[in-house]
Structures are given as structure tokens and as C-alpha cells.
Amino acid sequence: MDAETAFKTPSKPPVGKRSGQGSSSPSIAIPASPFMQKLGYGTGVNVYLMKRSLKGISCSPWAVKKINLKCDASRRTTYQQRLNEEAKILKTLQHPNIVGYRAFAEAKDGSMCLAMEYGGEKSLNDLIEERNTKHLGPFPAATILKVALHMARGLKYLHNDKNLLHGDIKSSNVVIKGDFESIKICDVGVSLPLDENMMVSDPEAHYIGTEPWKPKEALEGDGPITDKADIFAFGLTLWEMMTLSIPHLNLEEEDEESSFDEDDFDEDAYYAALGTRPPLNMEELDPSYQKILHFLTSSHPLGDWQYLFSA
């Protein structure tokens, strides 16, 4: 029996149990990694495309996040705990701009795998890199506004409805289907609870994020972490779509035969710029980008929800 026909749709597990961990519900057969298409990877994990069929009928595919067994064994427990937490959080979320939960199941190697809605083959970061390679210039303003609106809806849901800070917004954590037919935020594994003041008040909570997208208060540890941390990173994600660059990583353009020399990288300038709004080359942006520029430079740090929702 192949991996696809071995799949069984799970019934709702009893309270306190989950598929693959003592549940009496039918098991989910997660194929071995070599039998799935690799979609991407993150810190300590890989993401695969799991094609499904039920009694010969094609079903919607899933994206399966698995622990990378080649990673350092001493870190594997941490990555597994993070995946467990992501599954727990994702199961409570339901929004068209957040990748949906499907199952949390045990693979044949004994590790737990998170099965999610398949949001698309490519991340926004993949599309940025492709556009950069082809020298196509900034994404059209209408496309950036569409991404901004859908991301904003997802973040508003996380912040206002679920009291959660995503904690790692960036282009690689936004998945795109087709020609921007759907836009979904993924990877909630490092999200943090927010209180009624939109503040991370738990002294044990630790903001992880990714360095180029971190706000100043997270980099320096000199202020409270609030929902503005996500909004700052959200603004930088839109900045990526206009510059096709990683924030603050100002590498000189190299020709195809040369390679990057670390000695040419100004590390001091990079760290001094972190947590600030990076510059834009206004000569590359025609008047169609005016609404985005207004949004990025509004009084609310890198964003004004109401302005964006009326765009």
C-alpha cells in the first residue's frame, strides 16, 4: 500500500488525547520524508508537501512540518517542544489569512509532525528572490497593497481576537498561492500571549523573532514588547517587496563571477541600523506607491490599521 492510500481521515480525538499519542481515533500515515516534496525549511525543521487520496479520490494536499533529524541532537528536544507548542496554538486559530491546522501526528521515526493547510508552493521570500534574480524591480503597488491588506487582517485577528503576538513576521513566513490568489501567515511556533493592553506581560516569555526584522525594544531589551513588534516587522515585509532586499543587509550588487567577501561587510553599520526604518530609493517608485509610503510613514509605527483597511 502506498503512502497516499494509507491515509485515513482522523475523527475528533477524545479530550486530552491527540492522534498518534494514545488516541483511539484512526491513525494518520505520514510518509517518510524522501517520499514527499520538500517545500522549505526553518530552524530545526523541514516542511513537505503531503499529497492525499481517500479511496482513490484526490483530496486537498497538506503541508507537513517535521523535525530535521540531521540537526544537532542537543537541540532536537527544543525544536520538538517548539513544534508541540505551534500545534497547540495553531489548533485554536481559524482565519482565511492564517495557515490552518489539520493534524498533529506521529511519524514512523517517532517524532511528532504538524500537518497544516497547504497555503502555496512558495513563500513571499521565494517570490522576492525570484523577482530579484530576474531584475524585475519592485512588486507592483497593487500587489503590495493586496499583501498588506491580507497580512493586516491576519495580524488583527491574532492581536485583537486571540491576544497573540506572532513574534516572527517576515517574508519567509507568508505563503502565497498562485498569482497572489491567497496570502496566509504561517509559523506561529514562537508566538506570545498579549494582555488587554496588547503587551507581553509574562516575565518568562521570550521574544525570538529574526534579527533584521526585530524592533529596537526586542534588540535592546529596554522596553515592553507589544503588538507593535509585529507591526514593525510587517512594515519591513512590505519594504522587502519594494526593495527586494533583506532589511539593513546592504550588500553591494555583485556580478555573476564574483562572490561576497565578508571583509567588505560593515558589521557596525548593520547593527547600528537594526530596529530602524530602512531607507527607500524614491526614484524607483512612481506615484502608484504613494498610498503604501503613506502607510509606512504614518504616526502609528510603520502602520495604521484603519488607513490600510480603507485602501
Active site residues: 168
Kindly give the pairing relationship between strand 164-165 and strand 112-117.
unpaired
Is residue 114 within 8 Å of residue 107, measured between CB atoms?
no
Instruction: Classify burial at 281, counting beta carbons within 10 Å of its beta carbon; exposed 0-12, middle 13-18, buried 19 or more.
Output: exposed
Q: Please count the CA atoms within 13 angstroms of the CA of 167 that sit on its side-chain side.
A: 19
Angle between helices 141-156 and 228-243 (to 10 degrees): 160
- Is residue 7 within 8 A of residue 53, CB to CB? The reply is yes
CA 59, 63, 65: angle at the middle one, nearest 5?
A: 145
The CA distance from 156 to 309, in Å, is 11
Helix (H, G, I), strand (E, B) or coil at 127: helix
Which triple of cell numbers denotes residue 116? 497544516
Kind plus residue range of the DSSP H or E element containing 175 = strand 174-177
Q: Which residue, among 69, 79, 67, 84, has the nearest Cα to 18 in the 3D structure?
A: 84
Q: Tell me the C-alpha distance between 226 and 302, whole Å.
A: 14
Helices (H), the chain: 73-90, 124-133, 141-156, 216-220, 228-243, 267-273, 290-296, 305-309
Nearest CA-CA partner of 160 in 211, 95, 254, 255: 95
